[in-house]
Chains A and B, each alone.
Chain A
Amino acid sequence: MYAARQRIYLDTNVLVAKVKGEEDRVKKIAYWENYVAKEPKRRLIISIFTLMELLHVIRNALAKTLDPSTDLDQARDYVIERSSSLFNEILEDMIRLPEIYAIVLDIDITISKRELELQNKYVGRIRRRKCECGKSFVLRYGGVGHADMVHLAIARQLACDTFLTFDKGFTPLKKIVHPPEIIVL
């Protein structure tokens, strides 16, 4: 018998999948929204670190839409202005999210030796990925890193019992980190 999940931390890729509107993944997120809505004290937690990463994702994506010959100052101005506009559009909806969501910006977290030990021990996988030119391949390290550890530390600090992610790189940590229980969707 499993205890009911009360506080469910959302990794950044979950929020990115939602704003991207990927049908399959949005359905998986909707399952959790429905689960949380069944009991008033349950919450899906969005942290400040998640919002910061989302903003970075938007800026990266905008920069990639520009022609490489674009003047760098003009490109910077465009990315800053457009990202601010898009981010604010997202925030307009976020501040109106029902109380199944909690947006937590101020967190006292402790990053301890535990985080370094975990990162040091679980090296993850090396993956072969198409390079951005699309013509050749590069090897990329695909294991957990410092930012993953910060997310887990925030989730622990907020007494989250569950950590939702789409990133299979978290799989090796499932047996080690508890709480929160990591669920790879």
Chain B
Amino acid sequence: MLTEEERIERIIGDITEGKVSVRALKDYDIDLVLKIVNRLREARRIDPDTYIKILDYIGRLFLARSLGYEDVPQPDPEAPARLAGKLKELLSDIDPVEVVRDVRG
């Protein structure tokens, strides 16, 4: 009988080998997944691409749940275009470089 940590580690191995989708992590505790994936990365047992792929999924999952979804919605090729100009009115007189400089103090 595998512990939850061992099951997560096995799934991460399967993701690395392309056997399962990163969505296989959906039902596990996010913090535990992060703890394991960071440990594996530190030990160089997963490559940077898989590391980023898992962090990306977990990041989107957290945001999706905060918006009321159970899982991350499917990618939408139109999303980058929709994002462009989303705050056009609010930021109309603002220079992106200057405003970020201001925020950074």
Contact = CB atoms under 8 A, between A and B. Distances in A.
26 contacts: A12-B100, A13-B97, A18-B83, A21-B86, A41-B49, A48-B59, A53-B100, A56-B103, A58-B90, A61-B94, A86-B90, A91-B66, A95-B67, A96-B76, A97-B75, A98-B76, A101-B80, A104-B56, A105-B59, A106-B34, A106-B38, A106-B55, A142-B101, A166-B96, A166-B97, A167-B100
A14 B84 CA distance: 11
Q: Which of B48, B66, B88, B90 has the most CB atoms of chain A within a 10 A radius of its CB?
A: B90
A102 B49 CA distance: 10
Contacts of B86: 19, 21, 86, 89-90, 93
Given A57-B103, A95-B63, A166-B97, A33 B56 contact: no
Interface string A24-63: 0110000001000000010101001000010011101110
A19 B86 CA distance: 5
Interface string A1-28: 0000011000111101111111001100
Given A53-B100, A94-B79, A105-B58, A7 B48 contact: yes
Interface of B: 34, 38, 42, 48-49, 51-53, 55-56, 58-60, 62-64, 66-67, 69, 72-77, 79-80, 82-88, 90-92, 94, 96-105
Interface residues of A, number: 62
Contacts, number: 165
Contacts of A11: 100
A158 interface: yes
A22 B98 CA distance: 14
A48 B75 CA distance: 20
A57 B101 CA distance: 10
Given A102-B55, A106-B58, A166-B96, A96 B87 contact: no
Contacts of B55: 102, 104-107, 158
A102 B87 contact: no
Interface string A136-170: 00001010011110000000001100000011110
Contacts of A95: 60, 63-64, 67, 69, 72-73
Contact of A98 (B75, B87, B98): B75
A182 to B, nearest CB: 14
A91 B63 contact: yes
A19 B64 CA distance: 19
A81 interface: no
